[in-house]
Amino acid sequence: MTTHSFSRRTFLATVASAAAAPALARAGDALATLAPSAQTSATEDWKDAGVIDLSKSPYAKLKTVPIRAVVIEEGFWSKRRRTNVESSIPSMHDELIAHGRMNNFLRLIGKSSAPQVGPVYSDSDIYKWTEAVGFCLQSGDQPALRETTKAMIDEVVASQEPGGYLNTYFVGDRKPLRMLYPTQETGHELYCMGHMLQASIAYYRATGDSELLDAGIRFIDDFLLPSYGPAPNQKGIVAGHPEIEMALIELYRTTGNRRYLDLAGYILHGDPRIPLRSQQIVYMFCGIPFTSRTRLEGHAVRAMYACCGATDYYLETGDAAYWQTLNRLWNDLTQHQIYVTGGVGAREAGEAFGDPYELPNARAYGESCAAIGNMMWNWRMLAASGEARFADVVERALYNGINSGMSLDGTTYCYRNPLAFDPTGDSADRHTPEGKIRNPWYDTTCCPPNLERTFASLPGYFYSTSSEGVYVHLYDNSTMSWRLLDGNGLRIQQRTNYPWEGDVKLTVTPASPAEFTVFVRIPGWSARNAVKVNGNSLAGAQPGEYLAIRRRWSTNDTIDLSFDMSVQPLRANPAVNDDRGRIAFQRGPIVFCMEKLDQPDQAGNMSEYIARPGVAGSSVFKAELLQGVMVLDQPGMVSAPTVNRGLYFPVTESEHPDQTPTTLKLIPYYAWANRAPSSMQVWVPYTNV
């Protein structure tokens, strides 16, 4: 273990200095030459790929922009991303080491005598962390982090068997179980393989170093492809936990080898030779033709990853049946299944989607990974269509149900992201042995590195290009230095206090003046909008659509956007039993919640706080609170303690007697549970009085 036993302090210091923006700024400066296409020589194609590489995908209306092409500057996301690189990624590294996840590899090469530890999918923890590092390094080199990771990659690759197989769980006595049916359903071998491929591609796109990628290709070419697939001499294959589909398609995009795409399609179709019970088909969201799916069900992360893979398949093949199914599932998502926070997965049992409108708050599962899967899927749907409804879901999940998953200090994580919480209730602590909603480690530690890779890849989600021009999806202080599809260099600078304020100034600078379209996203939540180009008002902005601004652009043209940042009390569909008689507060993309510790009146039960949505409140930015958040002061009431009342009483008795005025204090949902344990609710009881 000496390889990885560098001092945490040293590591942090190195990372911190790298992260303190000079590296990032350098990337931006370099691109400021406005000749980015000249930078990428034929041998450095890897530098041009985005979070996923849609540059050659025939059915991708939008093309991804490299992470390195977008520098996020001081603002909302810079804090999160600095925390990610300074705190989360290094501390998760130490957790992975401490919990023996690297030892699992080292024992295979004689460098450790510790036994295999962790669940069957433990290798994926290492890969997801490596992918996070890969995305991170795409924003600028960090030598210490890169070298640490490279050393780990060396050891991972060293543990690969000559036949290409690489999985630290199915070795020794368990070797005969490899890809054996029915172990295949639950063994997560393809899941780990998928994360290995994604990690290898992210690291390759950061560094051009293909060591892990080559190992991944050997794994697929030498082990998987020869033996598993539709041919009579091949064995049956089932994803078990979808993930391999999107990984194989990204490998196809990276290498051009169509066999990877075909195998992904075969897995998405479901292998008829693998007999599955109907419960498994529901739970695993695989094993039958993806195009036969009519609703989201079963394990939420599995379903979301399957949808990602299926959308990737559509982006490459244009198979209309896939697009039809994906839209049917998306309607189910947005009509019945998504939390207002963008989280998904209502049920703890099976970590699963519930029935339509089954969206409990305190008992919400809303796994961080599922919200991330939701964002990844919608990102792909957006690329396929250019439709802003998908970007709205990306934004909702990102700012709320994903952002909540990592503590503000970056060292603890939510696995579940409930929309109501009572730290004194036993439902608060029965989900984790530690009894806390945020923990530094889970034995199934899927969420922490998943959050890390998401924040590390964030610059790649800001823009897309298309045959018509450029799309602006997300808003924050940033500079994009990239090129249009015709090769003309383009810089777009954003200046804003988004998401706290609704004004965004874009400065558009093409390398050569040219006519093209800038598609600016008008968020679905923004009812009233104003758009100006070089100071002149422009009509036509519609909430939930891209406003296409086509003109001849030249240096320092400006677009001024002004979104509606009024507080929006939301109601849920009456079929959502758990939200009846309650409202949620949203302001801009941010969903708010009440933490009891902020309230001037300390009610006994959160249901004693009553909102008055008809009475206007105010918003105040508090720089010193929770790393700087907008706080909503909403006029409300606090009623008599519920504890003094019977469980059932005649309807003639007031539901909320003895109301006295109070001010409800709401903070962004993503920032909850970062102070002392406190009751929390997103959906607040309300009165129309």
For binding to its own copies (CB under 8 A), which residues are involved? Answer: 282, 297, 334-336, 338, 340, 348-349, 354-358, 360-363, 420, 422, 425-427, 568-578, 580-584, 605, 607-608, 613, 639, 642-643, 645-651, 653, 655-656, 685-686
Least Å distance between CB 663 and its own copies?
Answer: 18
**Closer CB to its own copies, 22 or 435, in the complex:** 435
- 442 near 367, Cβ under 8 Å? no
Two tokens, residue 255: 């290498």
Query: Cα separations (Å) of 117 from 1, 97, 176?
Result: 15, 11, 19
d(CA 501, CA 109): 54
Q: Are strands 618-622 and 684-685 parallel, antiparallel or unpaired?
A: unpaired
Closer Cβ to its own copies, 668 or 685, answer by number: 685
Rounded least distance, CB 648 to its own copies, Å: 5
State which residue, 236 or 423, has the beta carbon closest to its own copies.
Answer: 423
Question: Which residue is it, tokens 């589909």?
Answer: 245
CB 525 within 8 A of CB 586: yes
Reduced to 3 states, what is the DSSP secondary structure of residue 464? strand
108 versus 296: smaller Cβ distance to its own copies: 296
CA dihedral 571→604→652→574, nearest 10 degrees, is 20
Locate tokens 């169509």: which residue?
258
Of residues 265 and 502, the one with the C-beta less far from its own copies: 502
Helix axes 300-317 and 368-385, enclosed angle (nearest 10): 20
Look up residue 582 and give its two tokens.
């309650």
Strand, coil or helix: 561: strand
- Alpha helix (H) residue ranges in 53-88: 76-83
Q: Compute the least distance from the CB of residue 357 to its own copies, in Å.
A: 7
At closest approach, how far in Å is the CB of 570 from its own copies? 5
For its own copies, which is the closer residue by CB, 94 or 633? Answer: 633
Nearer of residues 82 and 336 to its own copies, judged by Cβ: 336
Min CB(609)–its own copies separation in Å: 10
For residues 76 and 240, what is the distance between their CA atoms, to the nearest angstrom? 38
* Residue 242, phi then psi, degrees to nearest 5: -50, 145
Judged by beta carbon, residue 245 or residue 578, the one nearer its own copies is: 578
Which lies closer to its own copies via its Cβ, residue 548 or residue 640?
640
Nearer to its own copies, 345 or 449 (CB): 345
In angstroms, what is the minimal distance from the CB of 278 to its own copies? 11
Bridge-based pairing state of the strands 629-638 and 660-668: antiparallel
The whole-angstrom separation of Cα 289 and Cα 176 is 29
Supply φ then ψ for residue 189, to 5 degrees: -65, -45
Least separation in angstroms between residue 21's CB and its own copies is 38
Stated as kind and residue range, the H or E segment containing 255 is helix 244-255
Q: Find out whether 300 and 312 touch, Cβ atoms under 8 Å.
A: no
Pairing relation of β-strands 469-472 and 514-522? parallel
In the bound state with its own copies, the residue whose beta carbon lies nearer, of 482 and 592, is 592
Q: How far is the CB of 515 from its own copies (least distance, A)?
A: 37
Cα separation, 548 vs 470, in Å, equals 10
The contacts of residue 64 (CB under 8 Å, 6+ apart) are 49, 50, 51, 52, 53, 54, 55, 383, 460, 464
Nearest-approach distance from CB 485 to its own copies, in angstroms: 35
Task: Report the DSSP beta bridge partners of residue 494.
Answer: 478, 506
Q: For its own copies, which is the closer residue by CB, 577 or 602?
A: 577
Q: Is the dihedral of CA 29, 80, 409, 146 positive or negative?
A: negative
ω into 182 cis (within 30 of 0): yes
Closest CA to 283 of 345, 335, 343, 235: 345
When the beta carbons of 230 and 581 are compared against its own copies, the nearer one is: 581
CB of 474 to its own copies, least distance (A): 21
Least spacing, CB of residue 396 vs its own copies, in Å: 10
Least distance from its own copies to the Cβ atom of residue 574, Å: 5
CB of 395 to its own copies, least distance (A): 14
